[in-house]
Every structure is written in structure tokens, then in C-alpha cells.
């Protein structure tokens, strides 16, 4: 009787169980594409990799985002027949940025990966190349797909030379650039779809008898520690007046920022950059890999460029940059405790076209000065700017705590424990 009673009690509640609504759990990959893209923008890439190994569904869904940016070596490109087979060929529809890590002169001059083989990657838009010597070999290449090109130098990456030429590691210190790292506009004139050009540690050369390069229609130009000699002008990158973003980034210890050529650029003498809408000039500190920096008792700071009224006037002059919307200055020296911001405020008020002003200050203050007091000065300056100019976005920050002698001395003492020779810069 007990079993029968238990059965009737269970059947009594069965109709209620049939009417229960099962809630379907929403997983991350079930979100709309645009929402998931926003999430991926804030999520570290390592977390996406860990998520992709969860199951087959996640791995298949995250493939386009994981293989969007790919790094490779010259010896891999040569081994795989230039993207005709192998790993890069298998994921060719996902690759949008390709980074060639090592510098290999033989591959640059004898392997034409641009004209035919890069076309095997249909969605490739950004190519980043490590080359030690002149970029003269690029003038023999052409491409109608690449929209962004980055050129830099890293002499430590010589994997292909070690693997293909069978160099011994003890002899790699003798592998040095045999030509200067020069760059000329005719070198990239056959890249017809190029919109963004990023160059690092290049020397621009130009001869008066060279023709102009009307094929380039650049919108973004980024120069990091680049230099040039007369008669070259930066405005030669802006032949069709299409340049919108100009980004200059230099080490404060560079001698070029104190040369007449760089000063004429900041004063816009002989330069035609009226189409630029975003202008950024950043200075930074980079320490060379040298033990002498640690052994030196008195570490002297580099002289940061001083932000003067004449500099702001040149930047905000409508005759120089009439379409300027964003001005971003970082690493400039400005004495905050004087409280004399009126000349900057007056220049910003008179500039009707400027919408965003960013200033990252690097003060030459005493290392014994209280850092909190400096941050209070920065906060007061920012509030004064915003109250005086209510219709514009003002961002002011201070690099006081990262540029004093005491801060760098402490960091150098830490490097003694972590091998200074393996660190590039602060």
C-alpha cells in the first residue's frame, strides 16, 4: 500500500512538472556580432585563446578573431612556397595583418611575396616588415591590396639567417647592416591602395631630379625616430592633400629634435599640411642596453622639450592647420606651479576648429618634491582649462612620477636583478 500511495503522490505532481518552462542559457557566442566585437576589444587576447580550446564550437567561432593578426618568419614563407600551402594557406581567409618578425636580406631581394604571393591572402590589409637596411628593394615590388604598411628595424631577430644559412650563434654578432636605413617615397609608389604608413628609425632621402609620387593617397602617417635632410619635406607624403592623421614620436635623447629640419616642421616652414585633422607630437624616454647606465653614480636626465607659447601658436594657427580637430602633446616640459596657463587658454579660445586638446606634461622638478602635490597642480590646471573653455574636451596629465631621477634610479637598480641586457627601454 505504501508503494501505491507513493506512486499516486508522484503522479499528482506530474501535471505541474509538464507546465514548467525551461530557461535557455545564453552563451557568449550567442550574442550579436557587434556586441561580441565590443567585448573582444576589452578582453585580453590570451583569454580568447583559452576560451577557444574549450570545445569545437568555441574554436570554430573564434578562428576569425584569433588568426586576424599573424606573425611569421622568412624561412616559413620560403618553406611553404609563399603562402601556397601550410599553416598560412590554411587560414588565409582570416589573416588581416601579417608581421614578418625577422630581417632576411636574401628573402627581401629574391622572394617577391608582394606581386603574386600576397594575393593568396585575400583579406590581408596590414603588412609589418622588419628590415635592417635600405628599403630600396620595395621599389621592385607592387601590390593592390595592402592598405597599411609598417617598416621597422630589429637586429636581434635573425632566425631565417640562422636556419637557412647555417650561421653559428657565436658569429651572429658580425651580422650588421651594410647599408644605411634610408627610405624614399619612390620605394612604395607601386602600392596603390596604401592609406597608412608607419616608419620607425628611417632616414628619408630625396633628390631634386626625382619625380613626385602621385600614386600615394595616404590618410595616416606615423614617424617614430625618423630623420631627414634637405630638400625633403614631410608634406611630400601629402601629394593629394589626403593626409588626416600625423603622428610624430621621438626619443628625448635624439639629436634630430634639436635640428633645423625638425624645428622647421613644427613651425610649418615650407610644409603644406592643411588637410591634417589630428596632430600628435610625443616624446619618450628610452634607455640603451648598456651596463654603464647602472654603474654611473650620477644619472643625468635628458632635457625634455619645453612647451612655449610660440609652439602652441604654430600648432593652432589656422594658416598652418586650418582643419585641425585634435591636438595631442605628450612628454613636453611645462612648469605647473607658476599657474600661468592664460596664454594657452587664450590660444585655445581663439581656435574655433579645435575640439580635443590633450597635454601630457613632463616636469623637470626636483626628485625630492612630493609627487602628490604635483598631481594636485595637474588637477587644478585641468579644471581651470575646462572652466575657461567649456565647449572643448581638455585632458591634462602629468608624468612627474615617471621622469624624475629618483624614479629612474630605482628602476635601474631593479634591472640589476632582471638582466639589463634583455630590456629594451623603460
Per-residue pLDDT tens for 328-386? 988 887 765 555 567 777 777 777 788 888 887 765 543 434 445 555 566 676 777 77
pLDDT band at 270; cut points 50, 70, 90: confident
pLDDT band at 46; cut points 50, 70, 90: confident
Specify whether the CB–CB gap between 362 and 332 falls below 8 A.
yes
> 395 pLDDT exceeds 80?
no
Domain ranges of the chain: 29-66, 281-426
> 423 pLDDT exceeds 70?
no
User: What confidence score (pLDDT) does residue 21 get?
Assistant: 54
> 183 pLDDT exceeds 50?
yes
Specify whether the CB–CB gap between 182 and 204 falls below 8 A.
yes
Chain position carrying cell 561580441:
36
Please give the Cα distance from 359 to 344 (Å, whole number): 11
Instruction: Give the rounded percent of residues in the chain with a pLDDT score beyond 90.
Output: 8
pLDDT in tens, 123-176: 888 999 888 878 888 888 888 888 999 998 877 766 566 665 654 444 444 444
Please give the Cα distance from 342 to 349 (Å, whole number): 10
User: What confidence score (pLDDT) does residue 168 get?
Assistant: 46
Q: 338-344 contacts: CB < 8 A, separation 24 or more? A: 341/381, 341/384, 341/385, 343/309, 343/312, 344/309, 344/312, 344/385
Three cell numbers, residue 276:
591634417
| Sign of the CA dihedral with 285 first, then 291, 294, and 299 last | negative
* 3-state secondary structure (DSSP) of residue 156: coil
> 70 pLDDT exceeds 70?
yes
Amino acid at each position: 500500500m505504501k508503494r501505491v500511495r507513493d506512486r499516486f503522490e508522484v503522479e499528482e505532481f506530474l501535471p505541474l512538472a509538464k507546465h514548467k518552462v525551461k530557461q535557455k542559457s545564453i552563451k557568449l557566442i550567442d550574442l550579436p556580432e557587434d556586441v561580441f566585437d565590443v567585448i573582444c576589444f576589452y578582453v585580453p587576447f590570451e583569454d580568447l585563446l583559452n576560451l577557444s580550446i574549450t570545445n569545437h564550437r568555441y574554436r570554430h567561432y573564434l578562428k576569425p578573431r584569433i588568426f586576424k593578426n599573424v606573425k611569421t618568419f622568412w624561412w616559413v614563407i620560403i618553406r611553404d612556397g609563399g603562402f601556397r600551402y601550410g599553416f598560412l594557406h590554411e587560414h588565409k581567409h582570416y589573416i588581416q595583418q601579417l608581421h614578418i618578425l625577422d630581417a632576411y636580406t636574401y628573402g627581401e631581394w629574391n622572394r617577391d611575396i608582394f606581386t603574386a604571393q600576397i594575393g593568396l591572402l585575400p583579406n590581408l590589409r596590414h603588412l609589418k616588415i622588419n628590415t635592417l637596411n635600405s628599403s630600396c628593394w620595395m621599389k621592385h615590388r607592387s601590390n593592390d591590396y595592402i592598405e597599411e604598411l609598417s617598416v621597422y628595424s630589429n637586429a636581434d631577430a635573425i632566425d631565417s639567417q640562422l636556419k637557412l644559412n647555417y650561421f653559428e650563434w657565436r658569429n651572429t654578432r658580425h651580422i650588421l647592416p651594410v647599408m644605411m636605413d634610408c627610405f624614399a617615397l619612390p620605394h612604395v609608389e607601386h602600392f596603390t591602395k596604401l592609406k597608412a604608413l608607419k616608419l620607425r628609425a628611417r632616414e628619408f632621402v630625396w633628390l631634386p631630379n626625382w619625380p613626385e609620387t602621385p600614386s600615394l593617397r595616404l590618410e595616416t602617417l606615423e614617424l617614430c625616430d625618423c630623420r631627414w635632410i634637405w630638400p625633403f619635406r614631410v608634406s611630400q607624403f601629402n601629394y593629394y592633400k589626403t593626409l588626416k592623421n600625423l603622428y610624430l614620436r621621438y626619443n628625448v635623447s635624439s639629436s634630430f629634435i634639436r635640428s633645423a629640419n625638425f624645428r622647421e616642421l613644427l613651425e610649418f616652414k615650407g610644409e603644406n599640411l592643411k588637410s591634417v585633422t589630428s596632430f600628435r607630437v610625443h616624446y619618450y624616454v628610452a634607455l640603451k642596453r648598456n651596463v654603464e647606465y647602472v654603474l654611473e653614480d650620477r644619472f643625468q636626465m635628458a632635457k625634455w622639450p619645453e612647451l612655449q607659447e610660440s609652439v602652441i601658436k604654430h600648432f593652432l594657427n589656422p594658416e598652418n592647420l586650418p582643419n585641425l580637430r585634435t591636438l595631442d602633446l605628450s612628454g613636453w616640459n611645462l612648469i605647473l606651479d607658476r599657474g600661468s596657463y592664460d596664454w594657452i587658454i587664450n590660444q585655445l579660445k581663439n581656435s574655433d576648429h579645435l575640439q580635443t586638446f590633450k597635454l601630457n606634461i613632463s616636469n623637470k622638478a626636483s626628485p625630492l618634491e612630493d609627487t602628490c602635490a604635483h598631481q594636485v597642480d595637474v588637477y587644478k590646471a585641468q579644471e581651470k582649462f575646462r572652466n575657461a573653455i567649456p565647449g572643448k574636451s581638455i585632458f591634462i596629465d602629468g608624468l612627474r612620477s615617471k621622469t624624475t631621477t629618483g624614479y629612474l634610479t630605482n628602476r635601474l637598480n631593479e634591472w640589476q636583478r632582471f638582466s639589463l641586457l634583455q630590456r629594451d627601454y623603460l
